[in-house]
């Protein structure tokens, strides 16, 4: 009891001496417990609503539609992806696009925890969380990991087991693994590349060092952003070729 009181007093003191400032505009933040992102952005920057990923969308790749029922998009009808399904927490625009840029390229790691909570809520909303055996963050090549200093996909998923236990009252039936999938070839940025160039860029970029660990497993891949899907599709193909039973994808934002 005393420890909790001391901790609470310490947090209040820190809030007074080092008041939090909005990552968007620099104003002091008045936190709102209803939105995890309120610890990083003020009410003005948060706006009225976040661009939540919601119906209608393609049940395969998650591409959004303006109206009508869910239906397969033209791309999935012509060339189905390896992934079973792709789901997201948000649409990649507005504050979410800005937040991901700050998180990924300017190392604003205070965003990891609130973004993680939104991502876990999307996991619970769009998937049967009990059907998976492994949760795999998309890996970075070692050269990029050293340069950036962190893997944003891992930071977004590292506490999923604890969040599951808090929500369900029991240990997660899956485990988060960073050994089963490796990025073995350095690739250039996908930004600005067309579909053909993206596919060529990612050829043989991934490998499964221990295929015995994924054989017959249902796998959830986790990444920060899904645009054309080339990265996730290449990773999923590697996993399926190594014996995975199925691969689905969860991302923070879907373009």
Does 62 share its domain with 20? no
> pLDDT of 52-66, one tens digit each?
999 999 999 999 999
Domain region containing 124: 53-254
| Pair 120, 237 in one domain | yes
Give the whole-angstrom CA distance, residue 244 versus residue 240. Answer: 5
Which ranges of the chain does DSSP label H, i.e. alpha helix? 2-17, 43-46, 74-78, 94-105, 112-126, 142-148, 152-157, 160-168, 195-201, 230-241
Same domain, 106 and 138: yes
Is residue 13 located within the same domain as residue 113? no
Q: What is the phi/psi pair of residue 229, to 5°?
A: 90, 5
Residue 33 has pLDDT above 70, yes or no: no
User: Is residue 69 located within the same domain as residue 165?
Assistant: yes
- Number of domains into which the chain is organized: 2
Model confidence pLDDT, tens digit, residues 81-128: 999 999 999 999 999 999 999 999 999 999 999 999 999 999 999 999
| Residue 194 in this model has a pLDDT that exceeds 80 | no
Helix, strand or coil, per DSSP, at residue 114: helix
Q: Write the burial class of residue 166 (CB in 10 Å: 0-12 exposed, 13-18 middle, 19+ buried).
A: exposed
**pLDDT for the residue 15:** 43
pTM (predicted TM-score):
0.88
């Amino acid at each position: 009891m005393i420890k909790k009181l001391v901790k609470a007093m310490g947090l209040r003191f820190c809030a007074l001496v080092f008041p939090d400032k909005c990552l968007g505009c620099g104003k002091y933040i008045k936190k709102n417990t209803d939105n995890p992102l309120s610890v990083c952005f003020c009410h003005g920057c948060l706006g009225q609503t976040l661009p939540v990923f919601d119906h209608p969308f393609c049940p395969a790749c998650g591409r959004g539609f303006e109206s009508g029922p869910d239906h397969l998009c033209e791309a999935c009808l012509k060339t189905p992806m390896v992934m079973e399904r792709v789901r997201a927490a948000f649409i990649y625009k507005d504050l979410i696009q800005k937040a991901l840029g700050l998180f990924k390229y300017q190392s604003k790691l205070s965003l990891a925890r609130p973004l993680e909570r939104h991502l876990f809520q999307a996991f619970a909303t769009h998937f049967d969380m009990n059907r998976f055996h492994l949760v795999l963050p998309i890996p970075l090549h070692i050269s990029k990991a050293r340069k950036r200093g962190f893997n944003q996909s891992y930071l977004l998923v590292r506490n999923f087991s604890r969040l599951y236990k808090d929500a369900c009252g029991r240990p997660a039936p899956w485990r988060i693994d960073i050994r089963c999938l490796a990025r073995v070839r350095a690739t250039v940025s996908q930004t600005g590349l067309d579909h053909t160039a993206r596919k060529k860029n990612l050829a043989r970029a991934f490998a499964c060092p221990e295929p015995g660990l994924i054989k017959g497993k249902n796998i959830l891949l986790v990444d920060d952003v899904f645009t054309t899907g080339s990265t996730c599709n290449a990773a999923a193909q590697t996993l399926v070729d190594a014996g995975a039973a199925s691969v689905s994808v969860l991302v923070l934002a879907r373009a």
